[in-house]
Amino acid sequence: MMMAEGNFSILFILLLSVSLFVFEGSCMKAGERSFEIDYSTDQFRKDGQPFHYISGSIHYFRVHPTDWRDRLRKMRMAGFNAVQTYVEWASHEPEPGMYDFTGMLDLETFIKTAQEEDLSVILRLGPFIDAERDMGGLPYWLLHMNPEMRLRTSDPTYLQYVDRWFTSVLLPKVKPLLYENGGPIIMLQVENEYGSYPSCDFSYTGHMRDLVRNGVGLNAVLFTTDGDGVGFLKCGKIPEVYSTVDFGSGTDVNKAFDTMRLFEPHGPLVNSEYYPGWLDHWSYPHSTVDAQAVAKTLDEMLAMNASVNMYMFHGGTSFGLTAGSNKYSNFQVCPTSYDYDAPLSEAGDPTEKYWILRNITKKYLPLPSGDVPPPSTKESYGKVQMASLGTVNQLSTKLTSVWSKWPLTFEALRVANGLVVYQTSIPFRTADPAPLAINDVHDRGYVYVDGVYVGTVDRQQELYTLPISARINASLAIIVESQGRICFGADINDFKGLTTNVTVSGHQLEGWTIIPLPLTNNSRLAASLTHLPLFSSQDAFSEGRMSFFQGTFNVSAEGSQPHDTFLRLDGWSKGLAWVNGFLLGRYWPEVGPQVTLYVPHGVLSQGTNTLLLLEYEAAPCLTPDMCYVTFTDTHVINGPTPL
C-alpha cells in the first residue's frame, strides 16, 4: 500500500526526532561518569552508585617502569580497587623550566596502566609530599632562587614557581585523566599533611585549593590528609576540601574517626594513610609491624564502611640520590630501600602480610578472577672483580671550580645532591694539634690535610671538630656529602655543604676553591672519568681516600630477559653504585640495616654489563683478588646496626 506524501513527511520527521533523541540520550549516558561525596548518606558515589575504596600506595618514581604493571596487578589481585600515588615535583622539574616525564617519571602512562588493571587512581598533587624524599619532593633550586624563601606559605617568591608548575605543566596533564573525562582519577589531594607544618598559613592552603579548582574544574573531589589529632586538623583543614585522617594499626579506630567527624560531620570515613609498616633510617634497626595487627585494624575500619588507603602497599626503592632525611632528636638519614615492611617487598614479591590482608579485603570486595602473579625470578650473577679508576681528589683537578672568599652551599652552587670538594690553605702557624671546627656541616665531611685523610665530621653524630696537625700554608680539603634534605617538619629548607665558616684554633679560613662532582649527570660523569689514569687497586686506595672502582659482569643470553638481582658489598663501607649508568643509590652496609641494593631487571641487558662504585671510606682492595662485589639472589635489609 502506498503512503500519501504528506503522511510520509510527518512519519520521516517523527522517526528522525526519535533517532536524534536516542542518539542524544546515548551520548549523555556515555558522558555520565561521576565521582562525588554524598553527604546525606555518608558515602562516596561512583556513577550514582555507593562506592568505597580499598587503596594502596605505589609511587611510580620508586618502581622501574618495566615493573609497573606487575606491581599494580598484584595489588588488584589482593582485592584492592584503587591505587594512590604522589606526584614528585623535584623529579619532574629538576632544574627551573626543565621538565621530565619520561621513563620512570612517565606519570600519564602509569595512570593509564592502573586504569587498564581496573584500578581507580587517587592522586596526591603536592607540591610538598614528604614520602621520605629529598626536601619532601620540593625542588632544591627553590633555595637557590631565594635562600630566604618561606616554603609552603603564601610567600610570593615561592608561589610563583608553584603556580607555574601547576598551571602550565601538571594540571593540564591531570585534567584529561579525571574520572569524569574518561580517566581513572577519582580524587585529588591538596598539599599534604599541612597540619604538621608550623606555618599554618590559610591563605596558602586556600590558594592551593583555588589553583587546583581552576586547573581541573569544579567537579573533581579534593581532599586533605592529616594526622588523627585535633591539632593537626586545625591547620590542615581547608574550606570546601574534604578532610581525611591517617593512622596505623593498633589505633582506636572509633576515636580517630571521631576526630575526623569534628571537621567533617558528614561524608565517608577515610583513612588516607594506613601504615602496614614504617620507614627505616641508616644505623637503626629495620622497622617491622605485625601482620595480624595490621589485618585486625583494617578489618575494623572496613566493617565501618570506611575507605582506606594503605601506605605503602609497595614501597619500592629511592633510586639515585632521592632519599631524604629526618630531624627528630637528631638528624637521621633514610636508606635507599623503601621496603616499608609492606605487603609487596621492595622487589615486588607478595609477603606473608600480603596473603593475610587479602583474606580481609575479600570479605568486603570481590577478588578478581585468576591467579596472583608469582614473585619475580632472582638471579645470582656471582662475583664481579673491581679495579680502581682513580680518586675523587684526582678527578677534582679535571673539573670546573668556583672561587669564593667564604664557603658556598650546594644550593648556591646549583648542586642538587652528591659531593662537593672545598679546598683552601691554612696561612698561619698552628698549635699541634689544633682544633679544626666545621660547625653544622650538612651532612658529612671527609677532611684531608696536605692530601692525607685526617678524619670525618658528621651531622648525625653531631661531631663537628677534629684535632689536626698542619704546617703553615698546608692545604685543607673537605669533601662534603649531602645525605638527603630533611623531608618533614619545620626544617625542610635544609641547605647542604659547608653552611658556616670553617675555623682552625678559632681563626676563620678564607679563599675557597669549590668543586662540585657531576654524580647525577651520567654523560658528564662518564666524560670526567675518562680523564683518570688507571691505577692498581693497591696504589689508588688508602683508608678514607675516595676512589672510583669499575667492573663488568655477564648476563646470559639464554631466556627472554635478565632477572632481578641484589648487589652485595661485603667489606665495602659507604658510597654509591651505578649499573649501566643507572644510579642504584647509596650503600652503607657498615651501619645497616640495609646490606644489599636491589637491582631491577629493567636496568640490566643481556651480555656485558658495567658496574661503577664510588667508595667514600674503605674498600677491601689491599690486594686485587680481594677487590670484588657479588650479585646475589637474596635481599638483606635487616642487617646488624650499631649499638
Question: How many Å apart are CA 636 and CA 589, to the nearest integer?
Answer: 10
Question: How many Å apart are CA 380 and CA 567, to the nearest integer?
Answer: 9
3-state secondary structure 463-514: ECEEEECCCCCEEEEEEEECCCCECCCCCCCCCCEECCCCEECCEECCCEEE
Report DSSP state, residue 86.
E
Phi, psi of 210 (to 5 degrees): -65, -35
Question: How many Å apart are CA 44 and CA 540, to the nearest integer?
Answer: 64
- The conformational region for residue 316 under phi > 0 = left, psi -120 to 50 = alpha, else beta, is left
Catalytic residues: 193, 273
Q: What share of the chain is helix, strand, coil (3-state, %, to 5)?
A: 25, 30, 45
Question: How many Å apart are CA 314 and CA 507, to the nearest integer?
Answer: 51
**Length, in residues, of the chain:** 643
Question: How many Å apart are CA 8 and CA 159, to the nearest integer?
Answer: 66
For residue 22, give the C-alpha cell.
Answer: 536516542
Cβ-based burial of 273 (10 A; exposed 0-12, middle 13-18, buried ≥19) = buried
Question: How many Å apart are CA 340 and CA 287, to the nearest integer?
Answer: 7
CB within 8 A of 621, min separation 6: which ones? 386, 388, 537, 538, 541, 549, 627
C-alpha R_g of the chain: 28
Question: How many Å apart are CA 192 and CA 138, to the nearest integer?
Answer: 12
* Residue in 410, 479, 490 with CA at minimum distance from that of residue 140: 410
For residue 260, give the C-alpha cell.
Answer: 575526623
CA–CA distance from 265 to each of 154, 261, 301 (Å)? 29, 5, 17
CB within 8 A of 572, min separation 6: which ones? 587, 589, 613, 615, 618, 619, 620, 629
Which DSSP string corresponds to 187-252? EEE-SSSGGGSTT--HHHHHHHHHHHHHHH-SSSEEEEEEESSHHHHHHH--TTSEEEEEEETTS-
Is residue 639 classed as helix, strand or coil in its secondary structure? coil
Side chain identity, residue 371: D
Taking a C-beta distance cutoff of 8 angstroms, is the pair 223, 44 a contact?
Answer: no
Is residue 270 classed as helix, strand or coil in its secondary structure? strand
Taking a C-beta distance cutoff of 8 angstroms, is the pair 319, 66 a contact?
Answer: no
Bridge-based pairing of strands 307-314 and 270-275 is parallel
Question: How many Å apart are CA 491 and CA 197, to the nearest integer?
Answer: 10
Phi, psi of 586 (to 5 degrees): -85, 145
For residue 206, give the C-alpha cell.
Answer: 586556600
CB within 8 A of 495, min separation 6: which ones? 143, 147, 409, 410, 411, 442
